[in-house]
Amino acid sequence: MKHALPVGVVVVAAGSGQRLGQGIPKARVLCGGRTLLERSLDAVLASGVAASIVVVLPEGDDVLSAVVSRAAGRAGNTTVVPVTGGATRTASVRAGLDALPPSAAVVLVHDAARALTPPEVFRRVAAAVAAGAPAVIPVLPVVDTVKVVDGDVVTATPDRGALRAVQTPQGFDAPALRLAHEGIHPADPSATDDAMLMEARGATVRVVDGDALSFKVTTPLDLVIAEAVLAREAAGPSVAG
Q: Which is nearer to ligand C5P, 112 or 133 (CB)?
A: 112
**Contact partners, residue 10, CB within 8 Å, separation at least 6:** 53, 54, 56, 93, 96, 97, 100, 107, 108, 109, 110
End-to-end, the C-alpha distance of the chain in Å comes to 30
Among 65, 79, 84, 218, binds ligand C5P (CB under 6 A): 218
| Least spacing, CB of residue 210 vs ligand C5P, in Å | 15
On whether the CB atoms of residues 6 and 105 are closer than 8 A, the answer is yes
Closest CA to 65 of 44, 37, 90, 107: 37
Closer of 89 and 206 to ligand C5P (Cβ): 89
Q: Which residue among 47, 52, 88, 170 contacts ligand C5P (CB under 6 A)?
A: 88
CA angle 105, 108, 112 (to 5 degrees): 150
From the CB of 111, what's the least distance to ligand C5P, in Å? Answer: 4
Q: What's the CA gap between 140 and 115, in Å, rounded?
A: 17
Contact stretch for ligand C5P (CB under 6 A) within 43-51, 83-91, 99-107, 139-147: 83-91
- Residue (3 or 216) nearer to ligand C5P, CB: 216
By CB under 6 A, what part of segment 1-60 binds ligand C5P? 12-15, 26-27, 56
- Neighbouring residues of 19: CB distance < 8 A, sequence distance ≥ 6: 218, 219
How many chain residues bind ligand C5P (CB under 6 A)? Answer: 18
Confirm or reject binding of residue 226 to ligand C5P (CB under 6 A): no
**CA–centroid distance for 52 within its chain:** 15
**Could you give the string, one character per residue 109-128, with x where binding to ligand C5P holds by CB under 6 A and - elsewhere?**
--xxx---------------
State which of residues 85, 134, 138, 169 lies at the interface with ligand C5P (CB under 6 A): 85
Q: Which of 135, 146, 152 is closest to 208 using CA atoms?
A: 135
Q: How far is CA 237 from CA 13, 35, 117, 121, 233, in A?
A: 32, 24, 19, 22, 7
- Per-residue binding string, ligand C5P, 172-211, x by CB under 6 A, is ----------------------------------------
Rounded CA separation 214/104 (Å): 24
Q: Which is nearer to ligand C5P, 32 or 86 (CB)?
A: 86
**Residue with Cβ nearer ligand C5P (12 or 203):** 12
Q: Ramachandran region of residue 141, left (φ > 0), alpha (ψ -120 to 50) or beta?
A: beta
Per CB under 6 A, residues contacting ligand C5P are 12-15, 26-27, 56, 85-89, 92, 111-113, 216, 218
